[in-house]
Amino acid sequence: MQVEKVAASRLADADFMNLGFGDVFSDHMVTCKFEEGNWSEPKIGPFEPIPMSPASLALHYGQTVFEGLKAFRGTKDGRVRLFRMDKNADRLQDSCERLCIPVLDRRIFIDAITELVKLDQEWAPSNRGEALYVRPIVIATEGHLAVRPSASYMLVIFTSPVCEYFAQSRSRLYLKAEERFTRAAPGGTGYAKTASNYAVTLRPINDSVNQGYDQILWLDGQSHRFVEEAGQMNIFFRLGETVVTPELGGTILPGVTRDSVLTLLKEQGIPCLERRVLMEELVDAEAAGTLQESFGAGTASVVVPIGRINYLGNDICLPEASNDDLCPALYDQILGIQHGELEDRHQWMTTVDG
């Protein structure tokens, strides 16, 4: 892989004691172009602006997909490890197919990320829970105004040292069940990681934050009665002794952390169900005392507890935190694997050597 290193690193200017989320970017980035029917070999060069025509189809019609994954520094050995990037490679391919973007070979994706993180591994923070966030994005670059797929594309991959997404808020999240706006509808792009899925969330999330909520609980686009996602996270409910999460049906993003949580729970013998969850079911479960716990799961947040959900003007209140809660245990398990503290039984981690 062709590599052009920066003349002078910006690492010394980064304030690792006060990391935000996505405020600082590492020295290098990967670029890879699709032209004349083929993807070129990826190149690594300095992190810098990319040239783009004002008529690029990505800007006008949103033909773009992206991914998000993390690399973690081991708390014991200091080695940097990437978490489940094979799953991100598969999801990127699915997103590309839905957006009519030429599918990128997963080997190119994995090798490019590995080489980039290896080169910029000094940017990976040392504190537990912090990480080097990796953002791959594919954009349609052809300058044209017809509503059709682009003939040319660019893959860009860059990294950013980040804190935990909810590091500033140690209290359990307060969600508003959104009955006005819809994130995704059947037959749409809800399962794809594409920019338009996030653009439509900005107005309702901004409104809910201004009203005192931490995040939105997205409901289905037809009846607004079935649970789908919590902001940009998948959501779980502990009903009695069973953990329930909404099933994937084309409107919900198939989260890598979601899959990890389900794997760990089943491994521990905890009953898990993937099925539709009706809001009225949660109301009834609270009244009956069987709604034990709720938490969100995502790459940025890992696993975060939920304390209240406002639905049609009334709060569904989760019980106070207890030693039996699954959320903190799952959080410690996942971080333990990511930081090399626990055995990686499922081969989720890829160690960056060199």
348 is a domain residue: no
Q: Average pLDDT for consecutive 10-residue bins of the chain (354 residues)?
A: 96 94 96 97 97 97 98 96 98 98 96 98 96 98 97 98 74 94 94 96 95 96 96 96 96 97 97 98 98 96 96 96 94 97 97 84
pTM of the model: 0.95
What pLDDT score does 51 carry?
93
Q: Quick one: 6 and 155 in the same domain? A: yes
Q: Quick one: 217 and 143 in the same domain? A: no
134 is a domain residue: yes
65 is a domain residue: yes
351 is a domain residue: no
Tell me, what CATH number does 202's domain have? 3.20.10.10
Residues 6+ positions from 149 with CB-CB distance below 8 Å: 57, 63, 100, 101, 140
Q: Quick one: 157 and 179 in the same domain? A: no
Q: Quick one: 104 and 234 in the same domain? A: no
What pLDDT score does 170 carry?
59
350 is a domain residue: no
Q: Quick one: 177 and 41 in the same domain? A: no
What pLDDT score does 47 carry?
98
Range of the domain at 179: 173-338
Q: Quick one: 291 and 332 in the same domain? A: yes
Q: Quick one: 179 and 100 in the same domain? A: no
Q: How many domains would you assign to the chain?
A: 2
Tell me, what CATH number does 94's domain have? 3.30.470.10
Q: Quick one: 236 and 151 in the same domain? A: no
Q: Quick one: 226 and 325 in the same domain? A: yes
194 is a domain residue: yes
What pLDDT score does 272 carry?
97
284 is a domain residue: yes
Q: Quick one: 198 and 271 in the same domain? A: yes
Q: Quick one: 10 and 51 in the same domain? A: yes
353 is a domain residue: no
